[in-house]
Every structure is written in structure tokens, then in C-alpha cells.
Amino acid sequence: MWHEKTQQARESGQLTVLGVIQEQHSERCRLFSQWQQFDWPILHDPINVLPVRAVPIFIALDEAGVVVDADLHLEELDSFLSREPVDAAVKTDNAVSKSGVPKTGSPAARAEDIILWGQPESLSEAIELLTAAIKTDLESASLQFQLGVALRLRYDSSFRQADDFQRAISAWDRALELDPNHYIYRRRIQQYGPRLSKPYPFYDWVAQARHEVTERGETPVHLHVEPQGAEIAEPLKQFLSEQQEVEPDPDNKIAMDTRKLITAEVVTVPSRAAPGEPRRVHIDLRPSHQVHWNNETEGVQLVLRTPDGWQLSQTKMVSPQPKSTESSEPRHFELEIQIPQDADSRQIEAYALYYVCEDRGGQCLYLRQDIPIDIVVD
């Protein structure tokens, strides 16, 4: 609506529009901008440097860069545009340079610079700096949030560490605990969290955007990280659970993956929950460098055992198979767990069954791996 309302003023040169997005993944904003045909720049502020507590907000500046209205409403736009212009000389000496990351400043400021202007290989340094800064300011919600952002950025890079995603969720949980009324902190957790606590599907527009952009004869912006599971799921008003299915290996007869040819990563969102609350569980299975999936058989199976009194949205899942006979991509699963009102912390039993082959053309195996899911209940 703002884009359409400001079009004439933008085209005439009367108004310049600049957007700032508090989004973890910048390319998703670029795809949305391409889809909606925005013709104005958008800056990426994943760590909320501004800082803002809720979005969207519209800030009106005059020609001299003075804030005229810190919370402009659409019905006030015409009044803002009709005011007398202010004479102002253009200054360029304060422009930010992207040629390199400054080497001075506090650890927190240095970490901000690395996240905003540095390269993925420097994210580990930013994480170390933020971790050190938090030790001297344990009550800083913003530092916790920024640490979560840095961890998730590293998780999505080639420098990822297996526990980055879970550590990011724990940091965001702590940020919200310290500042429970912060809209952006809450939304970041909900992005990956249970459907019962989700206000809306965050990225259900992606498929439509790609289709319409392609129909216009354009190539949609490539997404480095595809939205999946919780990020595109519809909210729920009540928990939905499946009946316990017949287990494919109830007696543990299938050979165990003792060499960990496949690495299992488990993330729970939120990291801690009270009795009676839901949790969303993300499970990734990643082949080592020496193996690949054998796709000529059934997909990877994930089987879960429901404890008495607990509810699981699914107790058996099977990953879809790609068209190629061999592949080495991660296999991703998500499910939700409803914690009983009188529950304590416990471990959910789960296991995966999969066909893998060692090296190209090597020995193929059918293996099992137990994947315990630790549920922390406060």
C-alpha cells in the first residue's frame, strides 16, 4: 500500500524511499522486493542496529536529514509531502565505507561490523566477541539476540558447526526472556517454532512470488536457504497428533551406524518450555564426506516413540527421494511435541533408518541410528 501511495512522489523526485529490513536471510527480502517490483533500496539489518522494537514503522525525514515524524501514518503522508521543502546542502563526507571492517571499538561494536560488513569466515570471530561481551553484560537482551543471529548465519554458511542452530535458539530464547515485549525477538523464535504459537505462516508467499516473477519473464532471486517446515506452516489452534504407527525395527535388529556415516543434528524450539506447552523439533541428517544416499530404494525413515501422556504430531516420517540415484544433501525432518501439564524433562526415543553407499560405486548399507531428543521442561 505504501509502495503504491508513494509512487507518484517517487517518480517526480519529490520523495526518496529507503527501506530497512530486520530479516535473518537478506535474499528472501530481495525476492519479495523483486516480486512486488519495489524500485527503492532496502538495507539489511539482521542484528537490529537501529534499534526498533516492532515493525513496520515509517520515519519521515526532511531534506536536511532531520526527523519530522518518527511514526508516520499513511493518512499523514499527503500532509508531509505538501509541507515547504527545507534547503540543505548534500554532504558525502560521512558515508560509510564497505572497503573493510574497522579494527577498533568495543567487542560488541566490532562484532556488529563483522556481521554487517565482513565475510562468512569471520563469523566465528564475531561469535567469540559477542560471547565475551555477554559475560560482562549478562542482562543485555540485544547482545543475546545478535549472538543468535551470528550463530544462525554461520550455520547457513560453509563454516557451520553442528550446534550453531540450537545455540542460536537458546540465545534468542534468552533475549526474549530478558525483554519479553520485544516484537522482533518473539517473531524470530516463532519463525522456527511450534504452530500453536505461530501468528501466521512466515514464508508461504515464496512459491507464488517465484511463479509470478517467472511469468513476467524474469529469473527469481535465488534463495541460499529454502524456507521449510515451520517457516511455511499454517498456525494451529489445537494440537494435532498421529496414532502410533507400527515400527519398522521395534527389536533393534537392523545394523547400527556405529561409524556415524550419517551425522544427526537435533534442535528444539524454544530451547526450554513449561509444562503444557508445545515444542517444535528440527532434525537434520547429514552424510559424511565418504558416503552418499542410495536413492534407488525407499527414503530415509524417522521413527519416534511417544511417551505415556505426551503427544507427537508425527511418529513416522519418510523423506522424499530426489530423481538422481545418488545424492549427498541433508535430509530434514520437523515435528511438534505437546508436553503434558505434569511433565518433567525427559528424553524422547527416536531412530532413523537409511540406505547409504560408501564412496561412489562403493558398498551400500542399510543402517539404523538412534537419535535421542532431549526435552527440557522448566
Q: What is the pLDDT of residues 238-256, one digit of tens each?
A: 887 776 678 999 999 999 9
Considering the entire predicted model, what is its pTM?
A: 0.86
Q: Are strands 373-375 and 346-348 parallel, antiparallel or unpaired?
A: antiparallel
The whole-number pLDDT of residue 102 equals: 58
Do the first three CATH levels of 99-237 and 240-375 match, i.e. the same topology?
no
pLDDT of residue 104 exceeding 80, the answer is no
The whole-number pLDDT of residue 358 equals: 87
The whole-number pLDDT of residue 79 equals: 93
Tell me which amino acid residue 180 is: P
Percentage above 70 pLDDT, the chain = 94
The whole-number pLDDT of residue 359 equals: 76
What's the alpha-carbon Rg for the chain, to the nearest Å?
24
Q: Which of 100, 96, 102, 155 is nearest to 127 (CA)?
A: 155
pLDDT band at 84 (very low <50, low <70, confident <90, very high): confident
Helix (H, G, I), strand (E, B) or coil at 43: strand
The whole-number pLDDT of residue 363 equals: 84
Residue range 37-54: average pLDDT?
Answer: 93
Lowest pLDDT segment from 51-55, 118-122, 154-158, 300-304: 51-55
Burial call 226-246: b when 16+ CB within 10 Å, e when fewer? ebeebbebeeeeeeebeeeee
pLDDT of residue 93 exceeding 70, the answer is no
The whole-number pLDDT of residue 54 equals: 85
pLDDT of residue 322 exceeding 90, the answer is yes
The whole-number pLDDT of residue 97 equals: 52
Domain ranges, ordered by start, for the chain: 2-81, 99-237, 240-375
Q: Is there a contact between 107 and 133 (Cβ–Cβ < 8 Å)?
A: yes
Which residue stretches of 237-279 are H helix? none
**43, three cell numbers:** 538495507
The whole-number pLDDT of residue 101 equals: 59
Tell me the fold of 99-237. Answer: 1.25.40
Contacts of 52 (CB under 8 A, 6+ apart): 22, 184
Q: Are strands 350-358 and 291-294 parallel, antiparallel or unpaired?
A: antiparallel
Q: Are strands 60-61 and 316-318 parallel, antiparallel or unpaired?
A: unpaired
Any idea what DSSP says for residue 304? E
Please enumerate, as own/partner, the contacts of 52-60 that have beta carbons within 8 Å and a separation of 24 or more. Answer: 52/22, 52/184, 53/181, 53/182, 53/183, 53/184, 54/183, 54/184, 55/22, 55/183, 55/184, 58/2
pLDDT of residue 107 exceeding 70, the answer is yes
What span, in angstroms and rounded, lies between the C-alpha atoms of 288 and 63? Answer: 57
Q: Which of 336, 330, 338, 378 is nearest to 354 (CA)?
A: 330
Give domain 240-375's CATH architecture.
Sandwich (2.60)
Percentage above 90 pLDDT, the chain = 80
